A = this chain, B = another copy of it.
């Protein structure tokens, strides 16, 4: 399941995150590492490449991210469905999730948090703005490096609805011909 990846422009990551997939956030701090599932995120800017997301303070990852000021946002496909669910249903306070789920912690290029080799894409992030962390657990990250597997072009991703149910991205619909060029 290890995927070969290519560098990808950080200003184009909306391609993968704007559709709203569940993602895996990997982090590390002082010898500890962890992975959490995250469904509450949004692209905020192309350049600098900004992503805002909620990491609830009850999560074991919250302190790792807050103290290290870094993380990697990893994009799993449906091939990892049961692992995604497993990661969301145990705590890094009790287990090392890389070991438990047989995932590869690969060194990142620009941050110390490891990226997850088995995911389709990896976005290395640094905290850009923590003004809303205390009030809403809302972190604004800058994506400083992106790695994406070139194929498949449209990976099947998981989109969480709550209650244990995901929708899967399916058919691709292009309406490129109906867009004004500056709106693409």
Contact = CB atoms under 8 A, between A and B. Distances in A.
A164 B54 CA distance: 28
For the complex formed by this chain, how many copies does it contain in all? 2
Interface in A154-184: 154, 157-180, 183-184
Interface residues of A, number: 60
Interface stretch (A67-75, A80-88, A111-119): A80-88
Contacts of A178: 82, 85-86, 89, 164
Contacts of A14: 39, 161-162
A81 B175 contact: yes
Given A20-B159, A138-B44, A160-B18, A89 B132 contact: no
